[in-house]
Amino acid sequence: MRTAPTILHLDMDAFFAAAEQAAKPSLRGKPVVVGGLGPRGVVATASYEARRFGVHSAMPMAQARRLAPNAAYLVPRFGFYRSISEQVMELLGRLSPLVEPLSLDEAFVDLEAGGVADDTGTAREAGERLRRDILGTTGLTGSVGLAGSKMLAKIASEEAKPDGLVLIEPGTERELLGPKSVRILPGVGPATGEHLRRAGMTTVSDLAEAGEDELVRLLGRAHGASLYLMAQGYDDRPVVAERDAKSVSVEDTFDVDLHDRVRIRIEVERLAERCVGRLRASGHSGRTIVLKVRRFDFSTLTRSETLRGPTDDPLVVREAAGRLLEGVDTTGGVRLLGVGVSGLADYTQEDLFAQAAEAEAAEAAEAGEESRGGGGGAVAEAAAAEAATAEESAAAGSRRFAPGHDVRHAVYGAGWVQGSGVGRVTVRFEEPGSAPGRVRTFLVDDPELVEGEPLPLVGGGSGAAAVA
């Protein structure tokens, strides 16, 4: 524990929704919900205006629509959010070489390591300066927590929301934490919280008074001892600039349960290709292939296979995932599939490349005229995409415009999709720095309407209204 509040935690306010409001002038000050829009979609982020109706992250999208039927519902634009995140992380890097990103919109910073703070006054000054810089650069707001530990800095930033700064003076931890719910502590989720409630412990002070032995008896040695220390405000975890990934994975939840075994196999192969793409982008290879299957009754099965050495070859991963699928009963239907690679390394095993090359040659020979020279993975991905979007394509023509995505018209310029269906697409033409724009509707196959690129946000005050 530090004697000065020199650990900073930044959490951007309703990040995805705020970014959409800043990019779309007509949505400023209005409820906005970002997430999956299918029947099984969930909320990724809700603006503060939408939260007033009870909408929150991880809520089923169908429930959100019932609570806030007049909100704007948009699909995520992760490339756009990532570009803003890079700007924010650059500002954090100016404060210290020790920046520990937790997600696109959240990070810890060690101010002491950067030489910008060594006491309460300089820490507060650094935090306020960061908030001003973020607003000036992106037009968005972030909440800042300052404390002598990571745990308390994160708690402080949560209390600072939205658009504030809270500093916890070292030495006041126990007094501050005592009356709060046990759920505020890291590692105490719904199940652990309920277990503690049944034992008569609902506040942090209850945990401190129970003692380490009692918590170990209830929760086990590691968890119980750790929780006892945290209940006293003790947390000595350092800010770590590089967080080593332990695994890479991708998964998809399907709007309708999959029953066809061939379709399921195609989806697994497609996920394997995507997983390898992420694996290579991270500069790793992996040795253990993992398949995740959630069935119609919500039971989840995980199967894994460990190879002779690490690989980043798509064919090797695809075939391993396929073998794992053969051992899973999917008779009743499948609602979610996932493929992952663990046991990561920064090199590959040469004999696995040779094995993959031989298998690929055999596969190509066996496919013959069916593949017409196309790669097996590409054929599988195309087939999966065709099956997954058949109904949408039938209704919307040859193109699909998702709500919230960017478009450009040859006459009217840049805009975003407000809605689509029955062969038409409705577009609002406006830009981040403009006034709210006009709405026009086009045929979905209008040649003058094409997909567009996200426009950069205008810094300073223009986007500040995005987070009321």
The residues carrying an active-site annotation are 106
Q: Are 219 and 195 in contact (CB under 8 A)?
A: yes
Cα distances from 127 to residues 73, 161, 348, 467, in angstroms, run 33, 14, 43, 19
Residue type, 407: V
CA atoms of 437 and 431, how far apart (whole Å): 8
Q: Are 341 and 317 in contact (CB under 8 A)?
A: yes
Q: Are 74 and 67 in contact (CB under 8 A)?
A: no
- The 3 state secondary structure assigned to 61-73 is HHHHHHHCCCCEE
Closest alpha carbon to 230 in 157, 147, 159: 147
Three-state DSSP class for 155?
helix
Question: Do you know the residue count of the chain?
Answer: 468
CA atoms of 356 and 341, how far apart (whole Å): 17
Q: Are 420 and 444 in contact (CB under 8 A)?
A: yes
